[in-house]
Amino acid sequence: MACFSLATQPSPMAMRRAGLLGRHFASPFRLLCRQISVEPQATVDRLKESGLLRTQGLIGGKWIDAYDGKTIQVQNPATGDVIASVPCMGRNETTNAISSAYNTFSSWSKLTASERSKCLRKWYDLIISHKEDLALLITLEQGKPLKESLGEVSYGAAFIEFFAEEAKRIYGDIIAPTIDDRRLLVLKQPVGVVGAITPWNFPLAMITRKVGPALACGCTVVVKPSEYTPLTALAAAELALQAGIPPGALNVVMGNASDIGDTLLESTQVRKITFTGSTAVGKKLMAGSASTVKKISLELGGNAPCIVFDDADLDVAVKGSLAAKFRNSGQTCVCANRILVQEGIYEKFANAFAKAVQALQVGNGLIEGTVQGPLINEAALEKVETMVQDATAKGADVVTGGKRHSLGMTFYEPTVLGNVNKEMLIFRQEVFGPVAPLMRFKTEEEAIQMANDTNAGLAAYIFTTSMPRTWRVSEALEYGLVGVNEGLISTEVAPFGGFKQSGLGREGSKYGMDEYLEIKYVCLGNLKGT
Ligand code: ADP
């Protein structure tokens, strides 16, 4: 029944593989690191005591196992150790989660905006006060460095805070009538039950930027987190309950992805699907939404160009490209996927960039100083290997890295490839790993053409000191986000989303609210009557 089979003691071999033995830790994460690496049981106890190590699904405010008792194991990608088992749910549990969200919609949507706002604000406060524990969970199940996990908690929480405020800023309209005894009103109302399907690369933030605006608007939600990273989602849901978000307003199911997805798609009670993940799954969800004509938001894959012009400040370009490429070991949809460098600065940039890449410390994310964790799984590692092999077979040079890391597991060496061209897979597809392909270009027109020569259109980066060029190129890029002289540009106050096959809709910012609202026109007629 219950799933508290916590295999938490990494084997000495696993710890050695991940570089956890024989290390001395320094502040600021010293205590945190020591608890996890040297006394894993203490870490689990700490998480248990905090009440955050939830290992069941959440339906109607109750923590539930899979009805058939099946479970899936959640592994630490840095060591291979099983952190916990969670229920492997499917159609029946999802149907009940939808009913629970549907029933709760009638009361949650009728609260005042201010009442909903207060619950969300409380949720934000609880996330912040459990920041360290949530960060530990993220690093344990996802592998990113603890410092990045702490950053994700702040970033993820910021969406709740922002949308708690936006809840009070949903405005309608009054339109000048065309007939004098009429008044024309526009109301904005919550769409209803939302199915939110999220990936593993940001186990918290991808949830909060969907659930935050949904709850703020008065919608209720069934979340399906990635089976690789359900523990952070469950911990966040526990804090939502503690914050007074009513049972049934936020439900979490995980397990058989296609059964859960299909149940959400087929239900007439689910009025919206919001998804972050691969383009292939996004297209399936879009097609599947057609039969019940659901509103849909999709945040799909990218193939971000990062254009370094001759007139760029070299240090700014190296620092920005490094951040845009290697954050989360290259596992984000806004990661620079193609670094296009103008021929006049190519050699200087390639040398400085490769030097910076060689300095990136790879290891278990719990060790202070680690900036590159493991990839999420073996399939991800094999994809990276295939793309590097394809590029080198077609003439690319390995400037640095280029193979599995000696730490084993799913660690891959931070890699720079030189002289990449359009014939290589890595130009067309997202590598989603720590590999930076460099390509040369001659003119601004050529760079724009190369940058736009893809079906993706999420993020793009340019490095230049010319203001006219900044305007020209920003306007010419067919991308939803453009970073100029900056590699990290996401924030809760700005719209995030893609052009072309990178998706539909926007998350974050005031625009993020519209995705969860219906527009209703009300015509008041016969005002001359009694
Ligand atoms: P990634 O390759 O980054 O894991 P996916 O698109 O496969 O991206 O996964 C993103 C989310 O979509 C995960 O929660 C995953 O379980 C879910 N998912 C995968 N396949 C389906 C499907 N057929 N229907 C619904 N959700 C799915």
pLDDT tens digits along 436-495: 999 999 999 999 999 999 999 999 999 999 999 999 999 999 999 999 999 999 999 999
Q: Which residues are within 8 A (CB) of 70 and not within 5 positions of it... i.e. 6 or more apart?
A: 87, 88, 255
Of 27, 3, 130, 149, nearest to 78 by C-alpha is 149
Nearest protein Cα to ligand 1, atom 23 = 258
- As to burial, measured by CB atoms within 10 angstroms (0-12 exposed, 13-18 middle, 19+ buried), residue 440 is middle
Residue among 94, 260, 278 whose CB has most ligand 1 atoms within 8 A, to mutate? 278
- Tell how far the Cα of 199 is from the centroid of ligand 1, in angstroms: 7
Tell me phi and psi for residue 69, to 5 degrees.
80, 0
- Tell how far the Cα of 280 is from the centroid of ligand 1, in angstroms: 9
Ligand 1 nearest atom to the CA of residue 226, by list position: 14
Ligand 1 nearest atom to the CA of residue 432, by list position: 3
- Tell how far the Cα of 121 is from the centroid of ligand 1, in angstroms: 30
Check residue 11 and give its pLDDT: 41
Q: For residue 344, give both structure tokens.
A: 């006049």
The answer to whether the beta carbons of residues 8 and 86 sit under 8 Å apart is: no
pLDDT tens digits along 20-33: 433 333 344 555 55
Nearest protein Cα to ligand 1, atom 11 = 199
Ligand 1 nearest atom to the CA of residue 264, by list position: 25
Strand order in 517-524's β-sheet? 173-175, 183-190, 517-524
The number of residues in the chain equals 530
Of 333, 364, 500, 294, nearest to 431 by C-alpha is 333
- As to burial, measured by CB atoms within 10 angstroms (0-12 exposed, 13-18 middle, 19+ buried), residue 109 is middle
Ligand 1 nearest atom to the CA of residue 262, by list position: 24
The answer to whether the beta carbons of residues 224 and 89 sit under 8 Å apart is: no
Tell me phi and psi for residue 400, to 5 degrees.
-155, 155
- Tell how far the Cα of 343 is from the centroid of ligand 1, in angstroms: 40
3-state secondary structure 22-82: CCCCCCCCHHHHHHHHCCHHHHHHHHHHCCCCCCCEEECCEEECCCCCCEEEEECCCCCCE
- Tell how far the Cα of 262 is from the centroid of ligand 1, in angstroms: 12
| Distance of alpha carbon 92 from alpha carbon 65, whole angstroms | 12
Residue among 72, 86, 141, 197 whose CB has most ligand 1 atoms within 8 A, to mutate? 197
Check residue 29 and give its pLDDT: 52
Q: Which residues line ligand 1 (CB under 6 A)?
A: 197-200, 224, 226-227, 257-258, 261, 277-278, 281, 284
- Residue 322 carries which side chain, given as an amino acid letter? L
Tell me phi and psi for residue 376, to 5 degrees.
-65, -35
Ligand 1 nearest atom to the CA of residue 199, by list position: 10
* Enzyme catalytic residues: 299
Q: Are β-strands 415-418 and 459-463 bridged in parallel, bridged antiparallel, or unpaired?
A: unpaired
- Tell how far the Cα of 6 is from the centroid of ligand 1, in angstroms: 25
Q: Which residues are within 8 A (CB) of 285 and not within 5 positions of it... i.e. 6 or more apart?
A: 197, 261, 265, 273, 275, 296, 298
Check residue 30 and give its pLDDT: 53
- Classify 102 as helix, strand or coil: helix
The answer to whether the beta carbons of residues 371 and 363 sit under 8 Å apart is: no
The answer to whether the beta carbons of residues 483 and 489 sit under 8 Å apart is: yes
| Distance of alpha carbon 504 from alpha carbon 15, whole angstroms | 42
Q: For residue 234, give both structure tokens.
A: 């469950």
| Distance of alpha carbon 401 from alpha carbon 413, whole angstroms | 5
Q: Is 497 left (phi over 0), alpha (psi -120 to 50) or beta?
A: left
Nearest protein Cα to ligand 1, atom 15 = 226
- As to burial, measured by CB atoms within 10 angstroms (0-12 exposed, 13-18 middle, 19+ buried), residue 176 is exposed
- Tell how far the Cα of 472 is from the centroid of ligand 1, in angstroms: 37
Tell me phi and psi for residue 217, to 5 degrees.
-75, -15
Q: Is the dihedral of CA 328, 55, 270, 164 positive or negative?
A: negative
- Residue 200 carries which side chain, given as an amino acid letter? W
- Pseudo-torsion of CA 102, 104, 105, 107, nearest 10°? 150
Q: For residue 488, give both structure tokens.
A: 């990290």
Nearest protein Cα to ligand 1, atom 14 = 226
pTM: 0.93
Low-confidence spans in the chain with pLDDT less than 50 = 1-28, 35, 37-39
| Distance of alpha carbon 529 from alpha carbon 65, whole angstroms | 60
Ligand 1 nearest atom to the CA of residue 276, by list position: 10
Q: Which domains does the chain have, with CATH numbers?
A: 40-300+508-515 (3.40.605.10), 304-491 (3.40.309.10)
Q: For residue 294, give both structure tokens.
A: 């659901």
Query: DSSP string covering 250-293, please?
Result: EEE--B-HHHHHHHHHH-SSEEEEEEES-HHHHHHHHHHHGGGT
- Classify 407 as helix, strand or coil: coil
